[in-house]
Amino acid sequence: MSAGSIRSALAASAASLALILGPAIGMARPWDESYFPNVPLLTQDGETVNFYDDLIDGRIVVVNFVYTDCPDICGLSTARLAQVVDWLGDRVGRDIFVYSISLDPETDTPSRLKAYAAAFGAPSGWTFLTGTRENIDQVRFKLGERSESLSDHRSDMVIGNAATGEWRRTSLMGSLVVATTDVLELDPAWTPPPQQALLDHAPMTVTDEKGESLFITGCAACHTIGRGVRVGPDLAGVTLRRERGWLETYLADPSLMLDRGDPVAVELDTSFPDVRMPDLGLGTEDIADLLHYLESQTSRLGSPLSDVESAAHDHAGHHGHSEDQAHDHEHEHEHDHGSPASGEDRDARVTPDGHGHTHHAGAGAAATN
């Protein structure tokens, strides 16, 4: 999916939130062994599996399409899928099976997908798949992924129950509570929790502050504010450690800064090699709102620089760098896919079954309210 504003991505995704899969790939005939190709694919562990017989037949499944070199929002959508997987809990690999299929099989070898899966804390039951170009094309075409270029691929996911024949799309860029519930509803045995349970575990209401909304939808999947490294670095104090102009330029076009050899951008990319900072298409006003939010959240944490400066001195003494350089290389590998500070952690405590779950290490996302 090409870079565009987060708001544009949300609007496009919302349009297909509860969309049944349309006549081109829809329900005019059943999605069974006569519809799906049974072509061989390779898992991230190098195991050969047949698409229909081994992955689809009789199962409730979640399928999305990714590629590891994606410069746009693949990383963000994968991190948000990681939150859905986390909320589904031990159902994943038992009742529900999740598949992320590479659209760039020439590049995405099993070993590369294995590293990508590890970056998002993918548990057993979430399988990453590659294969020959011909086989991948057969599978994606049947699942409605018919974009002509990598940059235009869909960011939603196909969900279905092969036993009942129910298939549809759901969004990864809208409410993740809704997306998780959509998956659970495919199981005829699943019973929605009582309304009171949902109320008891409901996320706090997000304010109308623009920066908070941007952070939750675009950053919270991969970053925290003051709660440690997730998929990307902790953003606590980032507006104190980085010059304003650098942050504005990096948020506007991280790939351009990397291409220009900006030393901090290169360091971030090196420190988080398996997940790229996406180009989210943020405008000047968006960036200002987001930075204001990060500043306000840092202020609420107290004085983050005390620990930062202590660690920076240690780093500088070890490497012979200046204190400022130590700040850059020790503490902020600001990769931005998103972060769980206030917003993400609020939603991390809520699941559609009315129970809280902890996150897998290095993965997670905030649901949008």
Two structure tokens written together for 310? 């202590």
Q: What per-residue string of b and e applies to 234-267 under the rule 16 or more CB within 10 Å gives b? A: bbbbbbbbbeeebbbbbbbbbbebbeeebebbee
Q: Is 219 annotated as a binding residue?
A: no
* Domain-embedded: residue 212: no
Structural domains in the chain (count): 1
* Domain-embedded: residue 269: no
Phi-psi region of 137 (alpha: psi -120 to 50; beta: other; left: phi over 0): alpha
Q: Please provide residue 157's backbone torsions phi and psi, each rounded to the nearest 5 degrees.
A: -135, 150
Please tell me the pTM assigned to this model.
Answer: 0.55
* Domain-embedded: residue 335: no
| pLDDT, one tens digit for every residue, the chain (369 residues) | 444 544 444 444 444 433 444 433 444 456 888 899 999 999 999 999 999 999 999 999 999 999 888 777 777 888 889 888 988 888 999 999 999 999 999 999 999 999 999 988 899 999 999 999 999 999 999 998 887 777 667 778 999 999 999 999 998 888 888 888 899 999 998 887 665 555 555 444 434 478 887 777 778 777 878 777 777 788 877 776 778 888 888 888 888 888 888 888 888 878 777 677 777 788 888 888 888 888 887 777 654 344 444 343 433 333 344 334 334 433 333 443 333 233 333 333 334 444 433 333 333 333 322
* Domain-embedded: residue 173: yes
Helix (H) or strand (E) holding 310: helix 305-319
* Domain-embedded: residue 329: no
What CATH number did the domain enclosing 114 receive?
A: 3.40.30.10
* Domain-embedded: residue 150: yes
Q: Please provide residue 10's backbone torsions phi and psi, each rounded to the nearest 5 degrees.
A: -65, -40
* Domain-embedded: residue 244: no
Q: Is 74 annotated as a binding residue?
A: yes
* Domain-embedded: residue 211: no
Helix (H) or strand (E) holding 62: strand 60-66
Q: Residue 166 and residue 181: Cα distance in Å, rounded?
A: 15
Structural domain boundaries enclosing 86: 6-192
